[in-house]
Structure 1
Amino acid sequence: MKTVWISTVCLCLTGSLCAQSTNYHLVKKTTIGGEGGWDYLMADPQGSRLYVSHSTQVEVLDLKSHEKVGVITPTQGIHGIAVVPGTTIGYTTNGRPNTATMFNTKTLKATKDIPTGKNPDAIMYDAFSRRVFIFNNEGNSATVLDATTGNVAGTVELGGAPEAAVSDDHGTIFVNLEDKNEVAVFDAKSLAVKHHWKLGKGEEPTGLAFDKPHHQLFSTCNKVMVVMDSQSGKVLAEVPTGSGTDGAVFDTSTGSAISSNGEGTLTVVKEVKPGKFEAVQTVTTMRGARTITIDPMSHHIFVTTAEYGPAPAATTENPKPRPAVKPGTFMVLEYAAK
């Protein structure tokens, strides 16, 4: 594993001015290596770990140094990772076998294999209900687990293909429905679906971020971030983003929602005055860096990608071939605001 350090200097007049800056910049680039694709990654500040999905395993890195701690296997078709704060329990979603893996965060050993719905994808822990929610993209449902035992507590029939989800920490879960261009809203304890809210002009929503104090959802759709009132479902704004948009996070230190775009950019969106949302910065990343996580303690942002070679020649069976990933180039990029 190779790490490139990039020195930075942050100059500001006051701490408050520095906190309000949205000048995100690269602070570290680390090559992990290996082969295969990737999906979600997750920062765990309590455990000082960065969990990164990578083909058939989870790469576990030290959150600060990026040094490799180990791997979690077997996780065929790994998508997402969640950990339960205050415990040594974590979970992965495995798209190929339609399972979740319960693992020990200290030993990184798998402890339980849990059947889910079809193609489990996004995953989240909800502190209010003390449950883990697994969103089955092709199953149009969520498998609900007791966080401490891994036992299935129920299923939510969502009526569409779920992607990323967030909690209001008071018993309500919001989740994007990719094929319906909606946000579904359900109760974390009763599992009753309460609303299906349309995303205006937003199509194929994937990433979802949440400004809890201001009750604002940020849904990353195809080349647009839709801002929605989380209490009424009213669409507040539609802000253009880069192409290949996938993930989203909200940075409380800058009051910004950030989308990760597969074209190789981050789009930073902010409420510049009451009711007016704008893209205030476009950050250059690398092609393929479409998923994102944020460390809620340091407020640093992480994305993963790799270098690409030329696309193979088109064939009748594959008229639009994708460029191949160069083996050994899988990497993590870390960003911070000045």
Structure 2
Amino acid sequence: MQLETKIPLGEVRGRIDHMAVDQKRLRLIVAELGNDTVSIVDLARRSVIQRITGLKEPQGVGYEPSSDTLYVANARDGSLKFFKGEAYEAAGGIDLGGDADNIRIDASAGHVVIGYGEGRLAVLDAATRKRLGNIPLKAHPESFQLDPDGGRIFVNLPDAHAVAVFDSASGKPLANWPMDKGGNFAMAIDNDRNRILVAFRRPPELSVFSMVDGKRIATVDTCGDIDDLFIDRKRSRVYASCGSGFVDVFEIDGAVYRRLSRIPTASGARTSFFAPELDRLLIAARATSTEPAAIWIFRPLP
């Protein structure tokens, strides 16, 4: 990978959490948890054009294009806030009750799914923004992924040392896969190979499982404090971003996952977003004593 540029975020302090893309406007949405703000970054102009303030530890962000709505999940008060249109104007919200976290957009079903609390997934109707239901879990959900082909939701439950599988339409549990390692925070879905990738922090490893029965296919060491994981379908690669200050790049060769490179970033830069439409990996680097907070843009090679 080649570091293409760094986009300064300005006066942003503390931890930076998840990101999303408003593809229609070519904008990156950055949850600045420690700063109680969300930044809107114009990727064409490579600059911050707006900052949403007054939030309470924003963790998850998601942009739903059909309703032109930005969703922001707040950890401190458990609220889910809505912002509409070109200027992301405040449009209300709902109270989820605590620790609102990851957001996923289910475009085919017209749903927005949010992990929150001690163990719940809230399902909202994207058109009306009304809550349709809740899926109970055994523990707080970290990364979860939607399988558009199989109608399933795969959920990382690190406190329960498990990956739970649910029917996305009914919310009924389909399977529970016990994990023999700790800190399964990051997850990616590989539809081309019918596999789920789960990254662990204790010890730092990437494991690959069959989506059919949960059987482990491969395991490989990773960088430490991993938080995000993405599949590059074009190149048959995996990108893993870590708070230890690295991005690991893996090549997929059948059932073998081979590390191609370990790219230095910055300490604490553990959250990332891979945008296939842009063919770029975006890394969120928090402010240090010598460097301001910034979005690092990497271009995959070749």
* TM-score with structure 2 setting the length: 0.93
| Structure 2 residue aligned with 1:333 | 296
| Cα distance in 1 for residues equivalent to 2:8 and 2:56 | 22
Contact 2:135–2:171 (Cα < 8 Å) also in 1: yes
Contact 1:42–1:294 (Cα < 8 Å) also in 2: no
Cα distance per residue 1:179-221 (max 9 Å; x no partner): 122211111121112111123x432111111111111111111
| Structure 2 residue aligned with 1:43 | 21
Question: Secondary structure of 1:179's partner?
Answer: helix
Matched letter for residue 41 of structure 2: L
| Structure 1 residue aligned with 2:30 | 52
Contact 2:22–2:28 (Cα < 8 Å) also in 1: yes
The alpha-carbon deviation at position 166 of structure 1 amounts to 1.2
In the comparison of the two structures, how many residue pairs are matched?
A: 295
Q: Are 1:32 and 2:13 counterparts?
A: no
Question: Secondary structure of 2:282's partner?
Answer: strand
| Structure 2 residue aligned with 1:228 | 209
Q: How does 1:1-338 map to 2 (within 5 A)?
A: 24-34=1-11, 35-54=13-32, 55-136=35-116, 138-170=117-149, 171-199=151-179, 201-222=180-201, 223-272=204-253, 274-309=254-289, 329-338=292-301
The alpha-carbon deviation at position 125 of structure 1 amounts to 0.6
Which of the two has higher C-alpha Rg?
1
Unaligned runs of 5+ in 1: 1-23, 310-325
Identical pairs, percent: 25
The alpha-carbon deviation at position 129 of structure 1 amounts to 2.0
Cα distance per residue 1:261-315 (max 9 Å; x no partner): 101101112222x211222221111111101111120220111113434xxxxxx
Contact 2:67–2:126 (Cα < 8 Å) also in 1: no
Structure 1 residues 173 and 252, CA gap change in structure 2 (3 angstroms)? same
Contact 1:45–1:295 (Cα < 8 Å) also in 2: no
| Structure 2 residue aligned with 1:11 | none
The alpha-carbon deviation at position 128 of structure 1 amounts to 2.7
4+ runs of 1 displaced by more than 4 Å?
none
Unaligned runs of 5+ in 2: none
The alpha-carbon deviation at position 141 of structure 1 amounts to 0.9
| Cα distance in 2 for residues equivalent to 1:65 and 1:239 | 38
Matched letter for residue 236 of structure 1: I
Identify, as 1 or 2, the structure richer in strand: 2
The alpha-carbon deviation at position 59 of structure 1 amounts to 0.1
Deviates more, 1:119-128 or 1:34-43: 34-43
Question: Secondary structure of 1:163's partner?
Answer: coil
| Cα distance in 2 for residues equivalent to 1:130 and 1:216 | 24
Cα distance per residue 1:97-148 (max 9 Å; x no partner): 1110011141211101211142011111112321111101x42111111112
